[in-house]
Amino acid sequence: MREETDPPPQQPPPVEELMQELRSKATELLLREEWEESVHVYTQLINLCQHPDHLPKLRKSLCLALSNRAEARFRLRDFAEALKDCEEASRINETAHSKSLLCKGKILLALNRYSIALDCFKAALLDPHPNGGNLETLNAYVDRCKKLESQSKTGSFDLSDWVINGFPGKPPELAEYIGALQIKRSELSGRGLFATKNIDAGTLLFVTKAIAIERGILSSKDSDDNAQMVMWKDFVQKVVESATISPRIRHLISALSTGEEEEELEVPEIDIFRPETEEIGQSNEKVDMVRLMSTLDVNSLVEDSVSAKVLGKNSDYYGVGLWLLASFINHSCIPNARRLHVGDYLLVHASRDVKAGEEITFAYFDVLSPLDKREEMSRTWGFHCGCKRCKFEQLVCSRQEMEEIEMGLRRGTDVGGAISRLEEGMRRWMVRGKEKGYVRASFWDAYCEAYASDKSARRWGSRIPAADVAVDSVVEATGIDERVSKVLIQGSKRSGTSVMDMDKVLKLGRGLYGKVVKKHAMKRLLS
């Protein structure tokens, strides 16, 4: 009887056959945009190629595999690891390799490091054997980088065409930019952003890209706490993902306030927020979720209604995001800066003239409100506003007559009569200059209603100030607001717009939207 023997063990496929199999599988996954799986397979292929016995004859294959893995990691936004792959590919292939240089340029462009990205694209153009369709692509990237690099250095942005054409398609691509600013200790709260030179109204202060942002449309029936909490949860998850894969982002977020022990916080150099700053080295440090949640509670911003209007969104549009440099701007009831959201970018400009050394301030809430409402809103935000306006109004608004005027307006008294009484009271109380603008700003809803009615204006005549006089005083005291400019525009239309009137309207428009739109586009926005 014949003895049964075990079948001979199967021999592993030759290395060349295994490599070809991995190469084909990885390429297929890459084409199907299955990024995570393609990274896994390319890693297996790279490990085989890097074997000492294979490396000399597989340099080209290894370089290509590293470039493709870098592309997949780039799509996963794992920029640090993707850059490592590009640099390793360049080291192995000492002559220019357009594929790895193209990928490296795209990564640096995504990190807003325009100058270095431009160098990569230019170097890729020197490759004597560029990948077939890369030449046109590379030239397009070179043009993009040149434009963005210029914006980043000069702060010269122009959104006019996008506005005039009705905000078509995606928002225009913007560069990150930081103007004449520094971070210092603030008398208002903790640390603040300060001008280092005199700045004209409308001048762009900085442009910064969101670390993460979550947007949606909340209908009136959905705009409850539960719907917003779902959006907030998704927003937090995006921040965590960004901080997990980028040590630099994690480091910058750690520089923000958590709302506690403000005076103990280090004052960072503003240069660390410039995109061209060197990347922070690799770190395995985990994200501190407790600290992160406190940081987001204090520093996240909601996209305001003005931005929703400019972006062509409806009134139910809602967005929340984290923009690092904007987190250093404190509140004031006499703000000197405004913000505009364009895509994922936040543009901040001076809403009125700012002097060197002056702190840049936002309005965290509606500052065209009486003192008691502003105090209530500041308590909701967790701080007490001690700006010049609040200190002054704490003295004036304690007068019984002022309280009676407020009470009368709440009960529906004639707004013209209330304003007349308020103006007469300011004369008797010797309220002058900017202080008069403070008081008018606090009662601006009543002024708006009075100026909107020709009947009320005729009835009270000279006993209430002309619309342009009231507008000028409020703008000088508290800065510009849509409701203030609206009074002037409506008045100009009723009286027949003159060149002088329109020039004044456009000047107010620069305070509202900044100098990033020119005269013809400004008219469209204001209309």
378 lies in the same domain as 448: yes
Structural domain includes residue 8? no
376 lies in the same domain as 352: no
317 membership: H or E segment, kind and range: strand 317-322
| CA distances (Å), origin 262, targets 187, 255, 446, 520 | 12, 12, 38, 45
Residue 221: the pLDDT is 56
* Alpha-carbon torsion angle 498, 501, 503, 504, nearest 10: 180
488 lies in the same domain as 409: yes
Taken in order 441, 445, 449, 450, the sign of the CA dihedral is negative
d(CA 453, CA 11): 94
Backbone angles phi, psi at 193, to 5 degrees: -100, 130
357 lies in the same domain as 382: no
298 lies in the same domain as 376: no
Structural domain includes residue 106? yes
DSSP code string of 234-279: HHHHHHHHHHHH-HHHHHHHHTS--SS-GGGS----GGGGSTTSPP
d(CA 37, CA 188): 51
Q: SS3 for 498? A: coil
Structural domain includes residue 6? no
d(CA 198, CA 129): 52
Taken in order 90, 93, 96, 102, the sign of the CA dihedral is negative
Residue 457: the pLDDT is 64
Residue 308: the pLDDT is 46
Split into its structural domains, the chain has a count of 3
Structural domain includes residue 212? yes
CA atoms within 13 A on the CB side of 328: 29
307 lies in the same domain as 343: yes
Beta-carbon count within 10 A of 53 CB: 8
221-258: per-residue pLDDT in tens? 555 667 788 889 999 999 999 998 888 899 999 999 99
d(CA 20, CA 24): 6
Nearest residue to 111 via CA among 142, 82, 143, 147: 82
346 lies in the same domain as 392: no
pTM over 0.85: yes
Residue 10: the pLDDT is 55
172 lies in the same domain as 251: yes
171 lies in the same domain as 143: no
d(CA 362, CA 350): 10
Structural domain includes residue 242? yes
Structural domain includes residue 497? yes
Q: SS3 for 502? A: helix
Q: The domain containing residue 327 runs over which residues?
A: 164-362
Report mean pLDDT in 10-residue bins for the chain, 527 residues.
55 72 92 94 88 66 90 92 91 75 93 93 80 76 95 93 85 94 93 97 95 80 70 93 89 91 88 79 74 92 61 64 95 94 92 95 92 90 89 83 82 84 89 92 90 71 83 90 83 60 78 89 81
339 lies in the same domain as 466: no
Residue 305: the pLDDT is 47
CATH number, residue 214: 2.170.270.10
Domain boundary among the residues 122, 154, 186 is at: 154
Structural domain includes residue 112? yes
241 lies in the same domain as 297: yes
Report DSSP state, residue 213. Answer: E
How large is the C-alpha radius of gyration of the chain?
30
49 membership: H or E segment, kind and range: helix 35-49
d(CA 46, CA 55): 10
CA atoms within 13 A on the CB side of 167: 13
43 lies in the same domain as 148: yes
Domain boundary among the residues 102, 125, 154 is at: 154
User: Which segments of 88-211 are extended strands (E)?
Assistant: 177-178, 181-185, 191-195, 204-209
Domain boundary among the residues 154, 184, 208 is at: 154
Structural domain includes residue 4? no
Residue 306: the pLDDT is 47
Residue 132: the pLDDT is 46
